[in-house]
Structure 1
Amino acid sequence: MNKSQVITLLVASNVFLVSLLYVSNYWNIHWPVESIPHGHINKESEYVNPFKVYEEYPIDLVNASAIFNTVHGALKQKDANLNPVGVSFIPAYIPPNTRFYHSTGSPEIPESFEWIAMEYEFSYAFAQFQKPQNSTKPPPFPKKPPGAPESGNKHKHLPFFGDAYLYSFRTTRALDKVILLDGASAAKYSPLMDQQMILSRQKNTSAPVDERIAAEKICDWGQSFGLQGIIRLEIGFEIIVCDFQRDLELISNVTLDTTIDTLSIPSGSDGSAPLIKKFSAQDSFENLRMSSYVNDGDRRIKLDFSKMVTPLNKTYIDPNPFARNISYIDNELKEDIIGELETFYATTKIDPYETTDWQVVTGLIENKFGPLFDTINKTFTFFNGSEESLEILGEDLLTLTFNFKRRYNDINHHIDRDQYGFNSSILDYVHHTYPLQHNDILIYSSIFKVQFEISTMMFDIYNLGRDIVDKVSDLEVLKQRVAIKQKELVEFLDILRWTIFVDCTEKCGLNSVCYVPTWGPSPFGWGQRNEKFFDNIDGVYSISKNLQCVDFDDLLALRHQW
């Protein structure tokens, strides 16, 4: 070998080693990786590679999916009802001049803690369509199911038979010491109210949560660090405000007259008059419609996910959000949750404007791959085992995944192109904006794990479709591979449990609402008593995957049954 050939070989070897080092250090989780890319960067643009985070803080898919869904569904009405047993505590921030509403039978502003609603329709619904003050017979009101605890809130949950007062407030300053309880945490049932059981340190975990006692204990607990309230979901989102005399200013107090004072309805009406039933049905419909506007999130409230406190990945929690129960987790873990919240609120600033909004990340993933996986899953079901059907399946699978694969197939990248493309497909979706803080690490690692498995599934289905089209194996072998991959996809989607897969089977018109059933009191009665909207499998109620459009007539028909 002459000198020129030696030099050429050395140069080529160095190029290969440098390229290999770059790939291993920057992309592959199996070798050490740099958390910050090369180049001059400032603190604000500091980037931490998710492969590095996952390598140091690995998490299994079931827990990763649960955390993904907790983050993605926070403060979204649809997601909260489809994952009703909440387990996490998320610091919230409510900007100044945000409007709140409170309906009561008292002409005085509450002097201590009380409930407040985000929409006036929610509060207005509790005023009912009352009789004159001298009447003793209450108007129609949905009955509670057997075993449901009596409400301790004398103002909010009982109908008023005299004057009703609808208060409007605004926040005079930002509320930066508020806790969101995820799930349907105001549904009046255990285990849906377990988070309040934990924060109030209720010792008897078999007893129902008395929400007024729990609220008092939680507000007393939070006095040391200035807790302003907790956010829960009932028919809509509501806040238990710990002190109405602080940080709120009264805008208006409307004394609602009785219905018969407004219209010439015969004296002695008890709420059963046909016209009053229509008023009531329209009120309920407006309540549902306004609540449905926050199915995709309530932008009036900001969330600081970096300080989310959760028992997920710390103990076993049933992956089925309809069956889980956290009232029985270890007492030491309960105290850890309380202590971690105290530390965050006492020593750090709750500021969602300087932390990563992880819902942006999860939203891009779910909205990209949800429709794809749903279509792929349906495509598998059309396969009937014939050779012709297999050819169609192969073409369809390839069509649905080809562009995703091609997007990352860099022909100029000669070193392990498939691995490079696969890793690129993860980094395209998993990233952070602000520097990682506190519990961001758990969220970042969880989203990475979910996207890793998504990319794996997409690449595997692409390879299967390509092999079917290229006829790389005989018919029976390909059929076996199809059966295996179809089963894997179904199991994978069951772990993901994305709410995008649950929707109305038809497009609802402007005068109807795609109804996501609620678990406590609602315009359709108390939760799962209305089995039209629920499934009951082995005694565990869940919301049917095919939601239904409802309108004014549905609610009016229900009132005729009461």
Structure 2
Amino acid sequence: NQLRAGAAHDNGEHRIHIDYRYLVSGINRTYIAPDPNNRRLLDEGMTWEKQLDMVDDLEKALEVGFDATQSMDWQLAFDELVLKFAPLLKSVSNILNSDGDINESIAINATALTLNFCLRFEAASNNSDEFGSGKDFAVYQYVSPYQALKTDADFLIWSSAVSVVGEIVDVIYKVNDLLIPEVYSFMTDNTTSSDLIKNVETARSTIDGLIESLGWIELNYRCERQCNWDEVCYTPSWGPSPMGMTEPGSHNEGFGTHFDESRQRLVINSKLQCININDLMVNRNH
């Protein structure tokens, strides 16, 4: 799978289990910047009263105690969503951004992916089942919790999953609805409509906008090549790390980072690099 080549890093430590039932976060308390590089919990909207409320919630969670066996494994649930949709979204985007003139082959190749997804959730004989059909059924299948939701935090995380998957499903259906008529016209009459270029461009901007909005590591950060057996696809950190230490607000670019003028801070390059033990030895004093 080309999308996952060299991506054996940053998968988390699955031996560590977390109890998410009493998660304390700033969601629904203050503004959360969509750009994680600019995300600050203690921003202007976080009043002292809101901070005290969060501390109070944390104290209550500590009093209850933690038991991961009673909690939904939300990290696993979201990892599965990424593994399912990242290859599909990236593949459709690559097709719609193909070099050369826009023609019917772009619509045919893109809908070869989107149509199968949409048909999977169509109701038989126009009769919807107990879970609904179409988009509703698609969202249900991918966000249906495998444990009972018990706490406010459970429902907060779940509602976020519903929103994200709902947006993804909407985009897949929109791309399919835009391009399927063009494919049908070409297959039946060997012609396409005068709106072919506009429809492809609309589909392209729609799915690329979704990819940018999601900001998933799997969609934006990866090594350009599959790393060799003695290498890892390295994601920089502030440190201390094997490749040195950097300061987020510094203009001094570290290994694999650059200073972003709009954010006024160091950010990680989207094109990651494969490194091996020799690279670590060269940078050991940095």
TM over 0.5: yes
Which runs of 5 or more residues in structure 2 are unaligned?
Answer: 1-6
Contact 1:519 1:526 in 2 (8 A): yes
Structure 1 position 555 matched with structure 2 position 280: yes
The 2-side partners of 1:527 and 1:414 are apart by: 59
Per the alignment, in what secondary structure is the counterpart of residue 335 of structure 1? Answer: helix
Structure-2 residue corresponding to 1:509: 228
Contact 1:512 1:550 in 2 (8 A): yes
Structure 1 position 336 matched with structure 2 position 53: yes
Structure-2 residue corresponding to 1:321: 36
User: Which protein has the bigger helix share?
Assistant: 2
Structure-2 residue corresponding to 1:487: 205
Contact 1:311 1:333 in 2 (8 A): no
The 2-side partners of 1:424 and 1:461 are apart by: 18
Contact 1:302 1:352 in 2 (8 A): yes
Structure 1 position 446 matched with structure 2 position 160: yes
Contact 2:245 2:254 in 1 (8 A): no
Deviation at 1:373, TM superposition (A): 0.6
Contact 2:256 2:272 in 1 (8 A): yes
Structure-2 residue corresponding to 1:81: none
Deviation at 1:403, TM superposition (A): 1.6
Contact 2:233 2:273 in 1 (8 A): yes
Deviation at 1:532, TM superposition (A): 4.0
The 2-side partners of 1:293 and 1:345 are apart by: 34
The 1-side partners of 2:79 and 2:241 are apart by: 28
Contact 2:104 2:192 in 1 (8 A): no
Deviation at 1:547, TM superposition (A): 0.8
What TM-score results when the alignment is normalised by the length of structure 1?
0.44
Structure-2 residue corresponding to 1:356: 72
1:456 to 170, 187, 193: 170
Q: Deviations over 1:399-435 (max 9, x none)?
A: 111221221123333469xx72221111111111222
The 2-side partners of 1:338 and 1:428 are apart by: 36
Structure-1 residue corresponding to 2:244: 525
The 2-side partners of 1:336 and 1:414 are apart by: 48
Per the alignment, in what secondary structure is the counterpart of residue 492 of structure 1? Answer: helix
The 1-side partners of 2:154 and 2:222 are apart by: 30
* Amino acid across the alignment from 1:505: E
Percent identity between the two aligned chains? 26
1:535 to 209, 234, 258: 258
**Structure 1 pair 318/415, CA: closer, same or farther in 2 (3 Å)?**
closer
Contact 1:515 1:549 in 2 (8 A): yes
Structure-2 residue corresponding to 1:299: 14
2:24 to 309, 314, 327: 309
Deviation at 1:466, TM superposition (A): 0.9
**Structure 1 pair 402/411, CA: closer, same or farther in 2 (3 Å)?**
same
Structure-1 residue corresponding to 2:215: 497
**Structure 1 pair 399/294, CA: closer, same or farther in 2 (3 Å)?**
closer
The 1-side partners of 2:15 and 2:8 are apart by: 12
Contact 1:390 1:468 in 2 (8 A): no
Pairwise CA RMSD of aligned residues? 2.4
- Size of the alignment, in residue pairs? 264
Structure-2 residue corresponding to 1:397: 110
* Amino acid across the alignment from 1:426: V
Contact 1:520 1:526 in 2 (8 A): yes
Per the alignment, in what secondary structure is the counterpart of residue 454 of structure 1? Answer: helix
Contact 2:236 2:268 in 1 (8 A): yes
Q: Deviations over 1:77-128 (max 9, x none)?
A: xxxxxxxxxxxxxxxxxxxxxxxxxxxxxxxxxxxxxxxxxxxxxxxxxxxx
Deviation at 1:499, TM superposition (A): 1.4
**Structure 1 pair 380/293, CA: closer, same or farther in 2 (3 Å)?**
closer
Deviation at 1:310, TM superposition (A): 0.3
The 2-side partners of 1:447 and 1:477 are apart by: 35
Per the alignment, in what secondary structure is the counterpart of residue 350 of structure 1? Answer: coil
Structure-2 residue corresponding to 1:374: 90
User: Which protein has the bigger strand share?
Assistant: 1
Per the alignment, in what secondary structure is the counterpart of residue 195 of structure 2? Answer: helix
Contact 1:512 1:549 in 2 (8 A): yes
Spell out the pairing of 1:236-315 with structure 2 (5 A cutoff). Answer: 295-315=10-30
Deviation at 1:533, TM superposition (A): 0.4
Contact 1:535 1:543 in 2 (8 A): yes
Deviation at 1:463, TM superposition (A): 1.7
Structure-2 residue corresponding to 1:427: 140
The 2-side partners of 1:454 and 1:363 are apart by: 15
The 2-side partners of 1:375 and 1:535 are apart by: 28
Which runs of 5 or more residues in structure 1 are unaligned?
Answer: 1-291
Spell out the pairing of 1:122-271 with structure 2 (5 A cutoff). Answer: none
What TM-score results when the alignment is normalised by the length of structure 2?
0.84
Larger radius of gyration: 1
The 1-side partners of 2:123 and 2:236 are apart by: 47
Contact 2:258 2:269 in 1 (8 A): yes
Contact 1:304 1:352 in 2 (8 A): yes
Deviation at 1:293, TM superposition (A): 7.7
Q: Deviations over 1:386-406 (max 9, x none)?
A: 4xx321111111111122122
The 2-side partners of 1:531 and 1:499 are apart by: 20
**Structure 1 pair 407/293, CA: closer, same or farther in 2 (3 Å)?**
closer
